[in-house]
Amino acid sequence: DTFGKLNIVVNNAGILRDRMIFNMAEEDWDAVVAVHLKGTFNMCRHACEYWREEHKKGDLLNGRIVNTSSDAGLLGNVGQSNYGACKAAVAAMAIIIGQEMKKYGVTANAIAPVARTRLTVDATPSTAALMGAEPKPGEFDMFNPANVAPLVVWLASDDAASVNGQVFRVGGRSVWPMKGWHSATRIKNPEPAPWEPTKLGARIKEELAKGITAPEGMGDVFAGGL
């Protein structure tokens, strides 16, 4: 009502209910899903309906969606199966919505911030010491949330119209375009028949031993500095 139209949606609300899976109550799971996943769905669902209807009227609003994911979802993190599952899901949601809404001039992308927030400091002891430390005078504050803003601003702009269904990690001075789920190799039975389980298992172990699916860890991210 105030601005007359909707152009940009940034889904950034979040909570944590960290537990190991064997200690996680159903309420812990449901609370995180309700905020991160259903909350993101609700915003995207109604925004996309609005943009589609406006497009039918001939009003091209160049809608932009930016979902907030996390390395907990993209890489995994112990004690965060609820949070990580939701953050992986909102990244996938951005990819799929980008495919669905492209013909209406709408883009959807996701970011995984590396920054100092109440979730990474107050609610996550494992990252509090690193991200919560105040920078020395004159030193670049690599965990300042303001470092994330330029990417969000650009993704929401007309200049980013060709960037759709992408996921980016962002923090400090760096932006990492993410590749997501891609085949690392192909294990094909040389015979025109289904695999025999033990032979298949031997081939899988042989390929995995090459490190082709070795996960990226946060140590790898920080190794080059932010």
Residues annotated catalytic, as ranges? 70, 83, 87
CA distance 153 to 138: 26
Helices (H) and strands (E) in the chain, counts: 8, 5
Backbone angles phi, psi at 111, to 5 degrees: -125, 150
Rounded to whole angstroms, what are the CA distances from 174 to 114, 147, 171? Answer: 10, 9, 6
The CA angle 31-33-38, to the nearest 5 degrees, is 115
Which pair of tokens denotes residue 200?
A: 């298949």
DSSP 158: G
The CA angle 11-17-21, to the nearest 5 degrees, is 120
Containing H/E element for 108? strand 107-113
DSSP 159: G
If DSSP codes are grouped into helix, strand and coil, which group holds residue 68? strand
Handedness of CA 105, 111, 115, 118 (dihedral sign): positive
How many CA atoms lie within 13 Å of 218's alpha carbon, on the beta-carbon side?
A: 17
